[in-house]
Amino acid sequence: MDGNGRWAKERGLPRNRGHRAGTDNLKRIIKYARAKEIEYLTFYAFSTENFSRPLEEVQFLFSLISEYFQREIQEMIDEGMRVVFLGDLTLFPLSVRKVLKKTQELTAEGKSIQVNIALGYGARAEILSAVNALLKEGVAKADEELFSSKLYTAGMPDPDLIIRTSGELRLSNFLLYQSAYSELYFTDLFWPDFDTGAFEKALEEYGSRSRRYGGIEEK
C-alpha cells in the first residue's frame, strides 16, 4: 500500500487525502480478491518505521485506521471475511487497539477470505521476536515448522505473490522470512491508483511464471 503521500502531492493535495484514498482502494481490492476466490490477502498498512513520521501524520493514521474498521466491520462480517492483524499492536494507542481487537474477534469465524493487515509490523522485529520466544521456552534447536509457529503468520501459508506499488524495487522489511520463494511484482502505480485492472494484470503475470522452488523445471 505504498505511494499514498506521493499520490496526493502529484495532485496538490495534503498527504492525508492520499492516505484516505488508500483506504478507499483497500476495500475495492479486497472485494475483487473475494470474487477471484483468493483465500489469503495481506496488506502492509503501517510499518514499525512509519512511527517516525511527523506526529500529526501518525495521529491522523491512527484515527483513519480506527475509523475504517469501525465503518466496515459489519460488512466484513456479512461477507464472511476474517481479519487478522500482524505486528506489535502494543505500539498503538489503547483506543486503536480496542477497535482492532473487536474487529479480529467479530470476524474470527469468517470463511470467504482471510485479510491480514500488517500494522506496527517489521520483518526483522518479527524474526527477533520469534527467536526470543524460542529462547524463553528453552529451545536449543528449532526446525522450520517450530520457528514458523512463533511468527505473526503462524498457521498461514507463505505468500505466493508480493506486489509492491509506487515504483520502489525492494521489500522494505516485509515478510522477509515468509517470502523466500514468493514471486515479486513491481508497478509504478501509486497505491490509490492500483485498481482492479492493475491487480488483474499482476495476477496474470504471476500465472505466466514457472515456480521451481530451487528445483529444475519439468518439460
Helix (H, G, I), strand (E, B) or coil at 76: helix
The residues facing 162 across adjacent strands are 184
Q: How many CB atoms lie within 10 A of CB 170?
A: 9
Residues in the chain: 219
Distance, CA of 142 to CA of 130 (rounded, Å) = 11
| Active-site residue, 2 included | yes
Beta strands in 28-123, from DSSP E residues, in sequence order: 40-47, 81-86, 113-121
Pull the grid cell for residue 78.
456479512
Distance, CA of 186 to CA of 19 (rounded, Å) = 20
| Active-site residue, 50 included | yes
**Ramachandran sector of residue 16 (left: φ over 0; alpha: ψ -120 to 50; beta: rest):** alpha
Options 4, 24, 50, 132, the catalytic residue: 50
Options 2, 4, 25, 116, the catalytic residue: 2
Active site positions, annotated: 2, 50
